[in-house]
Amino acid sequence: MELVNTILSGNVALFELIIRRNNPYLYKIGRSYGYNHHDTEDLMQETYISAYVNLAKFENRSSFKTW
């Protein structure tokens, strides 16, 4: 994924695009597990922090959404 490579190259502001693209999907998953709105938002934030910290481990073998 070129976007990931660009972010890893130093353009960290583009991580916002990953967030915007995946928010609806993550929100739907959180709610489907029975979490309320606020807990789902907390889980989403933790997910994005973890993804950002581990972004260099993304191997482009799958879509970012399934990673």
pLDDT digits (tens, 9 = 90+) for 40-50: 999 999 999 99
Report residue 30's pLDDT band, with 50, 70 and 90 as the boundaries. Answer: very high
Residue 43 has a pLDDT of 96
pTM: 0.84
61 within some domain: no
Distance separating alpha carbons of residues 67 and 65, to the nearest angstrom:
6
What are the helix and strand counts (H, E) for the chain? 3, 0
Report residue 63's pLDDT band, with 50, 70 and 90 as the boundaries. Answer: confident
Give the mean model confidence (pLDDT) for residues 30-46: 97
Number of domains in the chain: 1
66 within some domain: no
28 within some domain: yes
Give the mean model confidence (pLDDT) for residues 1-13: 92
36 burial (CB, 10 Å; 0-12 / 13-18 / 19+) is: exposed
64 within some domain: no
Q: Containing domain of residue 37, as a range?
A: 2-55
15 to each of 49, 65, 66, how far by Cα in Å? 11, 13, 16
60 within some domain: no
Q: Is the dihedral of CA 27, 3, 11, 55 positive or negative?
A: positive
